[in-house]
């Protein structure tokens, strides 16, 4: 194909690749409130567990709009990534040999699976991580002994409920067990006669007040998600370096201590905070991914991928009789 035709094909693939995230951005933006609430749930869970209000601050009239747009763009890019990779594949596939295509077919699903696993694990671990971070800025709560049941009441008592009541009168007050807020039934003059529920934040007594901003939390979450997605590509990097002959399994096993040190540096660099808990929380999966790279390079060496025998080699390796073995390329011995 002439060079000009290559450029035309590249432009056409780029247009198709960008069309999907552009359409998805507007689609997700229509449901941005639901996506935002889904992303805010870990923080709300952590704040409620520490006895803090779950409301976030919005410090400008356009902040919530810009956050929803930011969330929509990032969500559209992540969801449409398989489509973008597919368009890239359609551009480069005609210039590859059949055995070279097997490498791409092995790496792209592996990379996508690692990203999904990393982001899923991050979302599940985020409430615990946030709870530890929130706890750094808290003091032990003030307490008082429980009065006997027959003791005279000191004032009006506010009921503590598990969920909002089905019906209430204007001015009724209640507190939910899983939320650090006081709820008030408010008559806003609606035509349907329904009462609005408004809140008054209540928090544990202390010198510091935990109050977070929506934009800062979303930036924190996106930064952490990108860092985790990139960190979870370590097995892919190990495979690539092993396939081109820079690394081998024997060399990787011999330098585990050095790998642990490098993983510690990476976790300190990509961690969005400077506390030791966040660094250790990243260090452990990073090193486990390094070990996963060794396993993948053992069961999927270059020849196994090129000949399409990865699955057969996995089964044979599990039985102790691998069909393909990774070659040594440490510069001391010749390739075997």
Q: What is the pLDDT of residues 68-118, one digit of tens each?
A: 999 999 999 888 888 888 888 788 777 777 777 788 788 888 888 888 898
Indicate whether 298 belongs to any domain: yes
In terms of Cβ atoms closer than 10 Å to its own Cβ (0-12, 13-18, 19+), residue 301 is: buried
Residue 307 lies in a domain: yes
> Per the domain annotation, does 238 fall within a domain?
yes
Q: What is the pLDDT of residue 1?
A: 64
- Give the residue from 108, 130, 138, 113 showing the smallest Cα distance to 224: 130
Instruction: Judge whether 98 lies within some domain.
Output: no
Q: Phi/psi class of residue 193: alpha, beta or left (left: φ > 0; alpha: ψ in -120 to 50)?
A: left
Q: Is 274 helix (H, G, I), strand (E, B) or coil?
A: coil
Is residue 70 assigned to a domain?
Answer: no
Nearest to 262 by CA among 251, 270, 274, 250: 270
Q: What is the pLDDT along the chain (336 residues), one digit of tens a residue?
A: 676 777 888 888 888 888 989 999 999 999 988 999 999 999 988 888 877 777 888 888 899 999 999 999 999 988 888 888 888 878 877 777 777 778 878 888 888 888 889 899 889 888 888 888 887 767 777 777 887 877 777 777 888 888 888 888 888 888 887 776 788 888 877 777 788 888 877 767 666 667 888 999 999 888 888 888 888 888 888 888 888 778 788 888 888 898 889 888 888 777 666 667 777 877 888 889 889 988 888 888 877 777 777 777 777 777 777 777 765 444 343 333
Residue 323 inside a domain? The answer is yes
pLDDT attached to residue 282 = 79
Q: Reduced to 3 states, what is the DSSP secondary structure of residue 218?
A: helix
Surface-to-core class of residue 7, CB atoms within 10 Å of its CB (0-12 exposed, 13-18 middle, 19+ buried): exposed
Let me know if residue 221 belongs to a domain. Answer: no
Number of domains in the chain: 1
SS3 106: helix
| Helix/strand/coil for 156 | coil
Residues 212 and 56: their CA atoms lie apart, in Å, by 5
Q: What is the dihedral of CA 185, 189, 193, 196, to 10 degrees?
A: -30
**Residue 65, pLDDT score:** 92
Residues across the chain: 336
Q: How many whole angstroms from its chain centre is CA 331?
A: 40
Contact predicate 1/9, CB 8 Å: yes
Quote the radius of gyration of the chain (alpha carbons, Å): 27
Cα distance between residue 203 and residue 199, in whole Å: 13
Q: Which domain holds residue 334?
A: 233-336
Beta strands in 88-232 (DSSP E): 160-161, 173-176, 181-186, 196-201, 212-213
Here the tokens at position 51 are 């006895």
In a domain, 118, yes or no: no
What token pair was written down for 315?
A: 């089964």
Which of 121, 88, 133 has the alpha carbon at shortest distance from 225?
A: 121
Contact 115, 64 (CB under 8 A): no
């Amino acid at each position: 194909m002439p060079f000009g035709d290559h450029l035309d094909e590249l432009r056409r693939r780029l247009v198709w690749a960008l069309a999907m995230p552009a359409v998805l951005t507007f689609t997700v933006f229509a449901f941005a409130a639901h996506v935002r609430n889904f992303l805010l749930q870990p923080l709300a869970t952590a704040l409620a567990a520490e006895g803090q209000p779950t409301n976030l601050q919005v410090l400008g009239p356009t902040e919530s709009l810009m956050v929803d747009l930011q969330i929509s763009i990032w969500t559209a890019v992540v969801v449409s990534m398989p489509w973008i990779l597919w368009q890239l594949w359609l551009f480069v596939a005609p210039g590859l040999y059949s055995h070279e295509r097997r490498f791409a077919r092995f790496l792209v699903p592996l990379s996508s699976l690692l990203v999904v696993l990393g982001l899923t694990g991050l979302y599940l671990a985020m409430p615990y991580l946030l709870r530890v971070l929130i706890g750094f800025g808290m003091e032990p709560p003030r307490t008082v002994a429980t009065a006997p049941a027959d003791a005279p009441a000191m004032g009006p008592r506010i009921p503590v409920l598990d969920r909002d009541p089905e019906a209430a009168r204007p001015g009724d007050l209640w507190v939910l067990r899983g939320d650090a807020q006081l709820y008030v039934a408010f008559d806003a003059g609606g035509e349907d006669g329904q009462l609005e529920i408004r809140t008054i934040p209540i928090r544990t007594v202390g010198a510091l007040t935990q109050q977070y901003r929506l934009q800062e939390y979303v930036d924190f979450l996106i930064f952490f998600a990108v860092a985790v997605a990139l960190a979870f590509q370590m097995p892919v990097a190990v495979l690539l370096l092993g396939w081109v002959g820079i690394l081998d399994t024997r060399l990787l096993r011999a330098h585990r201590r050095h790998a642990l040190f490098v993983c510690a540096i990476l976790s300190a660099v990509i961690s969005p905070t400077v506390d030791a808990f966040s660094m250790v929380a990243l260090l452990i999966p990073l090193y486990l991914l390094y070990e996963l790279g060794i396993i993948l390079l053992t069961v999927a060496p270059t020849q196994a991928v090129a000949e399409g025998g990865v699955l057969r080699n996995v089964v044979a390796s599990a039985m102790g009789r691998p069909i393909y073995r990774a070659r040594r390329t440490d510069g001391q011995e010749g390739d075997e």
